[in-house]
Amino acid sequence: MKIAFIGLGNMGGGMAANLVKAGHDVNAFDLSPDALARAQDNGCAPFTSVREAVAGVDAVVSMLPNGAIVESVYTADVLGQAPASALLLDCSTIDVATARKVEDAAAAAGYAMVDAPVSGGIAAANGGTLTFMVGGSDAAFARAEPILSAMGKAVIHAGDAGAGQAAKICNNMILGATMVATCEAFKLAERLGLDLQTFYDISSKASGQSWSMTSYCPVPGVGPQSPADNQYQGGFATALMLKDLKLAMEAAQTAGSDTPMGRRARELYEAFDAAGNGGLDFSAIIKTL
């Protein structure tokens, strides 16, 4: 297939490269010349505008920073510019309302579209092992699944338009809160005189086990390789975790759902980000305890 990929940042760059590896022809666009150059090195064809990149393609994949940019790119530069037969896949993490608004606009213009946010971080984006949570019709999902499978290990249909975004923000609310709790437990174990590797060996096989502990341990030298072993560089930035927690709190308010743990996690990450730590991996919040 010929696929336009819009947004080649930390996540999008690896995703586009994996589409090339799967045998697709990828038209790449990003505002950053460096990102475009990396995409070209990975086998993508670079373009200097979205409109040029989407001309004549079979599908458009986007990975953009926020809902306002997603809406602007699709309404101004994709709808009416890409062939009406092209499938549209937005893999950004944005608010549910904007996702539904953009998908409604796409449908009104004659396009099939899905929202397909991801879980897994930069390593999974580079390695092609992301999890995709997909919102859209059954027919659109069936078309999207083989494209997404080239970039991930799991592609799950969450429901109608916006359902992928709903699943993503609920998932990352769990992640943010459990990471804080995991950090608290390791610090408490340390102050109670436990060897941290021994505590890991116990808790990772007991009821305290979680992904935050066994796949992404916030303590250097404990558990599998993680950003903690690289001075909390790389991984999933604190600023992005804060973004997702804010989206979750906005959705909770709209839905009338009480989320005290999610709310507290947002407050803690907000303070950590404000102290200049937005570029560190979100597990670095252990530094505040």
Work out the burial of residue 123: count CB atoms within 10 Å of its CB; fewer than 13 is exposed, 13-18 middle, 19 or more buried: middle
Question: Bridge-partner residues for 144, per DSSP?
Answer: none
d(CA 168, CA 87): 21
Q: How many CB atoms lie within 10 A of CB 250?
A: 14
Contacts of 123 (CB under 8 A, 6+ apart): 129, 234, 235
Asked if 168 is an active-site residue, the reply is yes
d(CA 113, CA 136): 7
Of 193, 209, 211, nearest in space to 201 by CA: 209
178-182-184-186 Cα dihedral, nearest 10 degrees: 180
> Among residues 21, 153, 168, 187, which one is catalytic?
168
Residues with catalytic roles: 168
